[in-house]
Amino acid sequence: MSQVTKPTVATVRRFPPLIRIILLAVAFLTLLLPIDAVPDLAPLIGWLDDTVAFGYLAFELVQAIRSWRQGK
């Protein structure tokens, strides 16, 4: 039986670069475009897609800044 593990920074870094670029583009477009995957009229659920997209962009930005500061 397989164990379910929490995603970590190492897990996200293992995504191929193309997948990470696609995820970043989708997250950015989700926040930029006025069309939502789930309309904001549905309370909480409608905000969840925006929250996840913003969280992913913030996570990637923090990782990029850390890598840049370490000279990688």
Range of the domain at 28: 9-70
Contacts of 24 (CB under 8 A, 6+ apart): 56, 57, 60
Over residues 30-55, the pLDDT tens digits come to 788 877 666 767 778 777 878 888 88
Q: What is the mean pLDDT of residues 65-70?
A: 87
Whether residue 1 is contained in a domain is answered as no
Cα(36)–Cα(10) distance, integer angstroms = 30
DSSP string covering 8-26: -HHHHHTS-HHHHHHHHHH
Mean pLDDT of all residues belonging to the chain: 77
- Assess if residue 19 is contained within a domain: yes
Give residues with Cβ within 8 angstroms of 56, minimum separation 6: 23, 24, 27
Under 8 Å CB-to-CB from 26, ≥6 apart: which residues? 53
pLDDT at 32: 84
Residue 37 lies in a domain: yes
Say which residue, 59 or 9, is predicted with more confidence.
59
Residue 2 lies in a domain: no
Under the banding of pLDDT at 50, 70 and 90, the label for residue 68 is confident
Asked if residue 4 is part of any domain, the answer here is no
